[in-house]
C-alpha cells in the first residue's frame, strides 16, 4: 500500500519540533513528535510532506522553483520536468485544471508559500482525505493513516449508508468509515492556507445561458483513441523494473525460475495485461503490444520473450459457460507480439472461498473475491494492464434515456428500447421504459432523494427481475442498495435522516444547475467502481506489481464524457467504440465474436461460491461485529445465507457487501501497531472498539 501524507499548520511555529527535511515532524496532543512509519520526506516544516510505502524511484518527482514554490507528482505522469516547472508557475495564480491534464494516473501536490494544493482525480481512484489536527489540517491519499493520527472512532452512520445506499452520493456525502476524516469529491482539489481548508472543483461548469454545441461522434471517438493511446504509451515509456531479482533463493529441485518466482508471489518482469476475451482488456492488450517499444520482459531476463507482452487469461473451471470467452482470448493471443498464459481456477478461487487477506484502507465488496484476483495477478507482470472502468466510462447508464428526453432526442431511444423489448419478449416494454424515462426527466433530484428516504423508512425493497426490470429500477435518481433489506430499522432510520438532511444541500451533493440524471448516475457509478478497484488493488496486492487502469485516467475519462449520449445508448456501443479505437491505431484483425456479451456472468460464480462456503459464512455471522454495531440482526443474516444457498432469488451483491464489511471490521479491530511513530502513548484508529449497541448509531448522528 502506497500513500502520501502531510499537513498545513495554522502558524509556522506550530510545527517546529524538529528542523530540516530529513526529520520533519510535528508535536501532537501529548507533546510527542510524530512521523509516518516507513516514510521518505519530500519537503519539511512548516508544512511537511511524506511519501509512504514501496514507491518506485521514477514514481516520485519533485520540481522546485524556490524554497517555497514546488510541486510533487506521485504516480505515473507523462509530464516532463519542464512541463511541471511551467505548470508550477501557472499554479501560482490559482489555476488547477492543467495539473490534472497530463497522461497517466498520479497525484499532484503544489506548495506556493503557505498555500498547499492537493488535486484528486476525476474517477476517484486516487482520492484525497483530510481531517483537523493540531490546530491545522492533515491530508493524505489514504483514510486510515489520518484515522490513526487523530485516533478516530468508526462512523457507523457511514457504514450503514454503505449497506443501504452505496450508489447515492447524498447518503455518503464526504464521510469515510472514520469519524472526522473527510473525503474530497472526485474532480475537486483540497486547498490549504495556513491550516484553513477549502474544497474547489477544477472542471468547467456547463452554462445554462448558452447551449452546448452538438458533439461530433467521429471526432469524439478519435479523442478517446488518442487519450487511450497516450495512457498506454506513458506506461510503456516508464522505466522497467525487475521484481525481486536480488532475493532469488537459487535453484530448487524440480522448480524452474518461473516456478520459484510464483512460489514467492513475485510477478514476471516486464509488462503484461489481462486478456479475458472482453473488449476492454483485449483492446488494452492489443494497444500495448502494438505500440512501438518493448512491452515485454526486460532484455536479458525471463525466458527470451523480450518483445512480447504477457497476456493472462483466467479460466474458471468451477463455473462453466466461459468457453467462448476463453476461445476468443486464445484467438487474440495468436498475435505474435503476445505471450499467452491461462490461469485455471477451482473451487478455492470462487468468491467467498478465500476470506483471508490484509487490512485495506476502506471496506468494499471486492474483498470477497480478492483471492480469486490474486491467483490471476500472481501470473501477471510487474506492470499489468487491466480493463477496469471501461464499462462505467463508455457504457450508457439506463438513466441516460431521461437525458435524451430532456434534449428532445426521442428518436435515439428506438434502438435501445427495441433491444430491451426483444430480450423481454413483451410488446409493453417500450411504453413502460418511455414512461419511466419521462417521469425521471421531470423529477427534481431533491424529490428523488426524499423518495428514497421514504422507501427506506417503509422497508420497501422490491428486487427487479430481468434486463427490463433492472433498467426500469435504474431510471431513478436514487435507489436502495442490495443489502438494505437486511439492515435493522435503526440503521435504515439513520440513513433516512442523512438523506433528508442532505436534500437541502443540492450543491454539496455534486448536483449543480442543469445536472442531468443520467450523467449524474453515471458519475456516481464510476466513483464506486474506482473505489472498488482501489480496495481490490490493496487486498489482492502482489509484491512489486503495479496494476494499471488506463480507463480511469483523467484524460480518458474526459474524452469518454465527451461522447454523444445518442452514441452511448445504442446496443453494443462499447465494443463498437473500442473497435474503432483499435482500427485507428492500426489493429484490424479481430477474431469473430469480439465484443460479444459474456455467456456466463459473474453472478454464477458468486452463487456457486456462496453455496460452497455457506458453512463458513454462517459461522462468520454467529456473533458478527455488524450486529454489535446495531446494523444487522445476526439471525436474519444467517437465515438469508441459508436461503440463498438453497437457490432462493436473493441479491448476491447484498451478501458481498455484508460479508466484506464484516471482514473489514474484524481486520481493523485485530490489527496491531499504528501508521505513526511517537511515544508509547500513541493510539490508533478505533482505540475503544465498537461501543455498546444502543449508542453506536447515535454517536454517528451527532457528527
pLDDT of residue 311: 93
CA distance 106 to 552: 11
pLDDT of residue 337: 84
What does 176-207 look like in DSSP terms, one character per residue? -SBTT-EEPPTTEEEEEETTEEEEEE-SPPPP
CA proximity to 287, closest of 409, 361, 385: 385
6 with 109: CB under 8 angstroms? yes
Among 51-60, 93-102, 190-199, 501-510, the range scoring the smallest mean pLDDT is 501-510
Rounded average pLDDT over 551-566: 95
Q: What DSSP state is assigned to residue 13?
A: G
Among 21-30, 90-99, 565-574, the range scoring the smallest mean pLDDT is 21-30
As given in the structure block, the three cell numbers for residue 186 are 472526485
Q: Residue 595: which pLDDT band, with cuts at 50, 70 and 90?
A: confident
Rounded average pLDDT over 457-467: 82
Q: Residue 82: which pLDDT band, with cuts at 50, 70 and 90?
A: very high
Q: Is the pLDDT of residue 27 over 80?
A: no
CA distance 524 to 622: 34
CA distance 174 to 183: 5
CA distance 502 to 495: 11
As given in the structure block, the three cell numbers for residue 412 are 435515439
Neighbours of 331 (CB within 10 A): 17
Q: Is the pLDDT of residue 108 over 90?
A: yes
Where helices occur in 425-572 by DSSP H, the ranges are 429-441, 445-457, 466-474, 489-502, 517-539, 554-561, 565-568
CA distance 328 to 77: 33
CA distance 34 to 202: 33
Model confidence pLDDT, tens digit, residues 308-322:
889 999 998 888 878
Query: What is the largest distance, in Å, between two alpha-carbon atoms of the chain?
Result: 75
pLDDT of residue 208: 47
Measure the N-to-C terminal CA separation of the chain; round to a whole number of Å.
29
Q: Is the pLDDT of residue 663 over 60?
A: yes
Q: Residue 302: which pLDDT band, with cuts at 50, 70 and 90?
A: very low
Rounded average pLDDT over 155-176: 94
As given in the structure block, the three cell numbers for residue 144 are 486510515
CA distance 38 to 357: 21
CA proximity to 548, closest of 51, 118, 77, 226: 77
Q: Which residue has the higher pLDDT, 37 or 465?
A: 37
CA distance 595 to 579: 8
Q: What DSSP state is assigned to residue 252?
A: B
337 with 293: CB under 8 angstroms? no
Domains in the chain, CATH or no CATH each: 3-201 (3.60.20.10)
Percentage of the residues of the chain whose pLDDT score is greater than 70: 86
Q: Residue 452: which pLDDT band, with cuts at 50, 70 and 90?
A: very high
Q: Residue 15: which pLDDT band, with cuts at 50, 70 and 90?
A: very low
For 700: left if phi > 0, alpha if psi spans -120 to 50, otherwise beta; the answer is alpha
Placement of cell 472512532 in the chain? 153
Residues 6+ apart with CB under 8 A from 610: 351, 352, 617, 641, 644, 645, 652, 655
State the average pLDDT for the chain. 85
Q: Which residue has the higher pLDDT, 633 or 291?
A: 633
Q: Which residue has the higher pLDDT, 426 or 144?
A: 144
pLDDT of residue 257: 56
CA proximity to 544, closest of 62, 74, 59, 107: 59
Rounded average pLDDT over 141-166: 95
Which CA distances in Å does 78 have to 53, 54, 105, 244, 582?
Answer: 22, 21, 9, 26, 22
524 with 211: CB under 8 angstroms? no
% helix / strand / coil in the chain, to the nearest 5?
45, 15, 40
CA distance 613 to 210: 57
Rounded average pLDDT over 507-527: 77
What φ, ψ does residue 421 adopt, rounded to 5°?
Answer: -65, -40
Q: Is the pLDDT of residue 49 over 50?
A: yes
Q: Is the pLDDT of residue 23 over 50?
A: no
Model confidence pLDDT, tens digit, residues 247-284:
544 554 554 555 555 555 678 888 899 998 789 999 99
Q: Are strands 309-316 and 338-345 parallel, antiparallel or unpaired?
A: parallel
pLDDT of residue 25: 52
CA atoms 52, 58, 63, 67: torsion sign: positive
CA distance 159 to 491: 9
Orientation angle between helical segments 279-290 and 573-584, nearest 10 degrees: 10
As given in the structure block, the three cell numbers for residue 12 are 509556522
Neighbours of 385 (CB within 10 A): 32
Neighbours of 170 (CB within 10 A): 29
Rounded average pLDDT over 180-199: 94
As given in the structure block, the three cell numbers for residue 493 are 432510520
> Residue 593's Cα: distance from chain center in Å?
29
Q: Residue 508: which pLDDT band, with cuts at 50, 70 and 90?
A: very low
Q: Residue 305: which pLDDT band, with cuts at 50, 70 and 90?
A: very low
Orientation angle between helical segments 156-164 and 693-701, nearest 10 degrees: 90
Q: Is the pLDDT of residue 505 over 80?
A: no
145 with 675: CB under 8 angstroms? yes
Q: Is the pLDDT of residue 230 over 80?
A: yes
Q: Is the pLDDT of residue 20 over 60?
A: no
CA distance 297 to 56: 18
Is-above-0.85 flag for pTM?
yes
What is the SS3 assignment for 317? coil
Q: Is the pLDDT of residue 106 over 90?
A: yes
Rounded average pLDDT over 140-163: 95
Where helices occur in 241-379 by DSSP H, the ranges are 257-263, 279-290, 323-332, 370-377
CA distance 544 to 55: 9
Amino acid at each position: 500500500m502506497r500513500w502520501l501524507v502531510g499537513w498545513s499548520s495554522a502558524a509556522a511555529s506550530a510545527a517546529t519540533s524538529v528542523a530540516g527535511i530529513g526529520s520533519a515532524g510535528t508535536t501532537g496532543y501529548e507533546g510527542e513528535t510524530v512521523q509516518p512509519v516507513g516514510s521518505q520526506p519530500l519537503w519539511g516544516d512548516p508544512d511537511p510532506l511524506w511519501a509512504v510505502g514501496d514507491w518506485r524511484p521514477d514514481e516520485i518527482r519533485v520540481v522546485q522553483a524556490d524554497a517555497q514554490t514546488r510541486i510533487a507528482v506521485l504516480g505515473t505522469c507523462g509530464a516532463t520536468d519542464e512541463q511541471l516547472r511551467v505548470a508550477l508557475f501557472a499554479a501560482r495564480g490559482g489555476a488547477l485544471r492543467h495539473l490534472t491534464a497530463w497522461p497517466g494516473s498520479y497525484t499532484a501536490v503544489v506548495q506556493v508559500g503557505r498555500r498547499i494544493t492537493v488535486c484528486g482525480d476525476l474517477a476517484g481512484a486516487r482520492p484525497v482525505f483530510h481531517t483537523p489536527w493540531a490546530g491545522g489540517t492533515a491530508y493524505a491519499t489514504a483514510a486510515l493513516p489520518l484515522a490513526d493520527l487523530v485516533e478516530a472512532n468508526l462512523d457507523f452512520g457511514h457504514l450503514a449508508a454503505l449497506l443501504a445506499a452505496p450508489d447515492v452520493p447524498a447518503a455518503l456525502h464526504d464521510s469515510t468509515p472514520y469519524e472526522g476524516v473527510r473525503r474530497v469529491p472526485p474532480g475537486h482539489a483540497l486547498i490549504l492556507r495556513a491550516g484553513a481548508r477549502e474544497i474547489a472543483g477544477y472542471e468547467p461548469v456547463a452554462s445554462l445561458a448558452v447551449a452546448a454545441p452538438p458533439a461530433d461522434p467521429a471526432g469524439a471517438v478519435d479523442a478517446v483513441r488518442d487519450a487511450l493511446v497516450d495512457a498506454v504509451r506513458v506506461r510503456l515509456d516508464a522505466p522497467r523494473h525487475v521484481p525481486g531479482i536480488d532475493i532469488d533463493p537459487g535453484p530448487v529441485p524440480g522448480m524452474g525460475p518461473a516456478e520459484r518466482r510464483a512460489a514467492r508471489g513475485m510477478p514476471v518482469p516486464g509488462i503484461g495485461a489481462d486478456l479475458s476475451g472482453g473488449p476492454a482488456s483485449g483492446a488494452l492488450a492489443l494497444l500495448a503490444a502494438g505500440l512501438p517499444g518493448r512491452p515485454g520482459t526486460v532484455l536479458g531476463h525471463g525466458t527470451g520473450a523480450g518483445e512480447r507482452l504477457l497476456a493472462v487469461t483466467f479460466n474458471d473451471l468451477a463455473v462453466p459457460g466461459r468457453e467462448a470467452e476463453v476461445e476468443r482470448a486464445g484467438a487474440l493471443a495468436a498475435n505474435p507480439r503476445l505471450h499467452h498464459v491461462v490461469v485455471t481456477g477451482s473451487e478455492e478461487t470462487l468468491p467467498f472461498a478465500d476470506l483471508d487477506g490484509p487490512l485495506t484502507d476502506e471496506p468494499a465488496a471486492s474483498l470477497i473475491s480478492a483471492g480469486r484476483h490474486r491467483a490471476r495477478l500472481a501470473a501477471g507482470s510487474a506492470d499489468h494492464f487491466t480493463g477496469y472502468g471501461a464499462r462505467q466510462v463508455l457504457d450508457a447508464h439506463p438513466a441516460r434515456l431521461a437525458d435524451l428526453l430532456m434534449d428532445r432526442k426521442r428518436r435515439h431511444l428506438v434502438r435501445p428500447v427495441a433491444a430491451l423489448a426483444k430480450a423481454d419478449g413483451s410488446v409493453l416494454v417500450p411504453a413502460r421504459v418511455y414512461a419511466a424515462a419521462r417521469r425521471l426527466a421531470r423529477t427534481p433530484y431533491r424529490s428523488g432523494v426524499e423518495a428514497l428516504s421514504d422507501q427506506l423508512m417503509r422497508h420497501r425493497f422490491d428486487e427487479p427481475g430481468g434486463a427490463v426490470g433492472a433498467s426500469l429500477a435504474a431510471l431513478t435518481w436514487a435507489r436502495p442498495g442490495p443489502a438494505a433489506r437486511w439492515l435493522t430499522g435503526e440503521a435504515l432510520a439513520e440513513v433516512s435522516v442523512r438523506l433528508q438532511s442532505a436534500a437541502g444541500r443540492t450543491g454539496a451533493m455534486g448536483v449543480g444547475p442543469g445536472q442531468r440524471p443520467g450523467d449524474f448516475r453515471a458519475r456516481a457509478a464510476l466513483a464506486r467502481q474506482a473505489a472498488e478497484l482501489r480496495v481490490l488493488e490493496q487486498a489482492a496486492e502482489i509484491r512489486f506489481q503495479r496494476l494499471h487502469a488506463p480507463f480511469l485516467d483523467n484524460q480518458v475519462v474526459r474524452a469518454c464524457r465527451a461522447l454523444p449520449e445518442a452514441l452511448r445508448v445504442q446496443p453494443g456501443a462499447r465494443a463498437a467504440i473500442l473497435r474503432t479505437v483499435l482500427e485507428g491505431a492500426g489493429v484490424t484483425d479481430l477474431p469473430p465474436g469480439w465484443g460479444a456479451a459474456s455467456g456466463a456472468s459473474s453472478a454464477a460464480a458468486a452463487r456457486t461460491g456462496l453455496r460452497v462456503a455457506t458453512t463458513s459464512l454462517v459461522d462468520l455471522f454467529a456473533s458478527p461485529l455488524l450486529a454489535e454495531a446495531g446494523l444487522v440482526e445476526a439471525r436474519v443474516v444467517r437465515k438469508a445465507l441459508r436461503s440463498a444457498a438453497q437457490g432462493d432469488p436473493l441479491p448476491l451483491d447484498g451478501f458481498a457487501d455484508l460479508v466484506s464489511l464484516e471482514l473489514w471490521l474484524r481486520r481493523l479491530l485485530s490489527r496491531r501497531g499504528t501508521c505513526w511513530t511517537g511515544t508509547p502513548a500513541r493510539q490508533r484508529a478505533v482505540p475503544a472498539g465498537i461501543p455498546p449497541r444502543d449508542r453506536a448509531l447515535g454517536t454517528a448522528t451527532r457528527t
